[in-house]
Amino acid sequence: MKAEDLVEMLEERPFVPLRLCLSNGRSHEIRHPELVVVSPDVVVIGMQGDNGSKLAERVRWCSTAHLVEVEPMIASS
């Protein structure tokens, strides 16, 4: 997936939370698009804590070259 495609998904409104799947089998959930920075080579994801704050407690750096799939996290009824 290209970085530009991810940016388009992050800009969609209403925003649907996303799951980024990486080539190493890991995945990262994006619940707030404002906590994500996308460059041509890297995606930086702000990771929230369990306290309900929208502030990032830590960040994850992911290479866009290892981004295998981005899937919407649609809540099941």
Q: How many domains does the chain have?
A: 1
In a domain, 34, yes or no: yes
In a domain, 9, yes or no: yes
CATH number of 16's domain? 2.30.30
In a domain, 77, yes or no: no
pLDDT tens over the chain, length 77 residues? 899 999 999 999 999 999 999 999 999 999 999 999 999 999 999 998 888 777 899 999 999 999 999 999 986 54
Q: Which domain holds residue 19?
A: 3-72
Q: How far apart are CA 40 and CA 13, in angstroms?
A: 23
Q: How far apart are CA 29 and CA 20, in angstroms?
A: 6
Q: How far apart are CA 47 and CA 30, in angstroms?
A: 8
DSSP annotation of 4:
H
